[in-house]
Amino acid sequence: MTPRAHQPVAIPPVGDVAIPRRAMVLAAGLGTRMRPITDHTPKPLVPLRGRPVIDWTLDRLAAVGVESCVVNVHHLADTVRDHLSDRRAPRIAFSDETDRLMDTGGGVRKALPLLGAGPFFVINGDVVWLNGVRPALTRLAEAWDPARMDLLLLVLRLAGANGYDGRGDFFVDPWGRPRRRLPHEIAPFVYAGVMMTTPALFEGTPDAPFSLNRLFNRALDEDRIRAVPHDGEWYHVGTPAALALAEEKLGEPGPSSDQ
């Protein structure tokens, strides 16, 4: 594969950390595993502890200084638009996939004109996390090195992956280099559905639906990917059972519920 030119774009700092100003939430899925809840409620608006899941994510983005966020829409798109119409922090832009679902990678590629030239966060629409000592997004931004990476993943220990029922995704070495598990292996880390990336990762990709996994593999092949372990709670809320588990474990908001 021909090496690609990497031209880092500087991010102005927020405090002492260069936080991306833009992000994307992947919210266009059909939510088939969440049925019957999603028959009438789009998955991003499924309530968790009385608040739509997407609002948990948008609040995390606003808290670290992200100014604008692209939300892609497909299933019950107008309902999502209406819910987010008054949101000011971050400002919301929509990437419309009502005519054709673009999958995760194609969805981000379609939204690139709205995401600018610098690094940005991409977050799955069915994950919720509580921060540890420092916000997870801040920790990603601190670890970002554009000279060495096009992709930085938030991962977490398999044992703490609430609502996840797989065999793990990655092994991660002491320098943060991930490798995929082999079919017979159980990997100790799960991709947390939160990442930081750059438009350079999408060079040469088609204007068609494709999975982000294609770009994960390319970044792995080029040694342009790193991983940061999450140090707080995390929940996958893609099924009714997983949602019920998150409701039970999160409990009533407490002093650290904004973490």
**What are 36-87's pLDDT values in tens digits?**
777 888 888 999 999 999 999 999 999 999 999 999 999 889 999 999 999 9
Q: Give Cβ neighbours of residue 244 (< 8 Å, ≥ 6 apart).
A: none
Rounded distance between C-alpha atoms, residue 138 and residue 135, angstroms: 5
pLDDT band at residue 8 using 50, 70 and 90 as cut-offs: very low
Contact (CB, 8 A) for 250 and 258: no
Rounded distance between C-alpha atoms, residue 225 and residue 206, angstroms: 21
Q: What is the pLDDT of residue 254?
A: 39
Pairing of strands 51-52, 47-48: antiparallel
Give me the phi and psi of 122, to 5 degrees please: -130, 130
pLDDT band at residue 16 using 50, 70 and 90 as cut-offs: low
Between the alpha carbon of residue 1 and those of residues 6, 127, 179, 204, 257, the distances in Å are 15, 33, 19, 11, 46
Q: Set out the domains of the chain in order of their start, with CATH numbers.
A: 22-250 (3.90.550.10)
pTM score, whole prediction = 0.90
SS3 label, residue 230: coil
- Reference 131, options 229, 254, 259, 19; nearest CA is 259
Q: Output the average pLDDT for the chain.
A: 89
Model pLDDT for residues 121-150, shown as the tens digit of each residue: 999 999 999 999 999 999 999 999 999 999
Rounded distance between C-alpha atoms, residue 147 and residue 132, angstroms: 27
The mean pLDDT value for 221-235 works out to 96
The mean pLDDT value for 78-107 works out to 95
Q: Percentage of residues in the chain with pLDDT exceeding 70?
A: 90
Q: What is the DSSP string of 141-166?
A: HHH--TTT-SEEEEEEEGGG-BT--S
> Which secondary-structure segment (H or E) carries 33?
none
Q: What is the pLDDT of residue 96?
A: 93
Whether the pLDDT of residue 154 is over 50: the answer is yes
The number of angstroms, rounded, from the C-alpha of 92 to the middle of its chain's C-alpha atoms is 16
Whether the pLDDT of residue 10 is over 80: the answer is no
Q: Percentage of residues in the chain with pLDDT exceeding 90?
A: 80
Whether the pLDDT of residue 4 is over 90: the answer is no
Rounded distance between C-alpha atoms, residue 136 and residue 123, angstroms: 12
Q: What is the pLDDT of residue 2?
A: 39
Rounded distance between C-alpha atoms, residue 245 and residue 259, angstroms: 19
Q: What is the pLDDT of residue 182?
A: 95
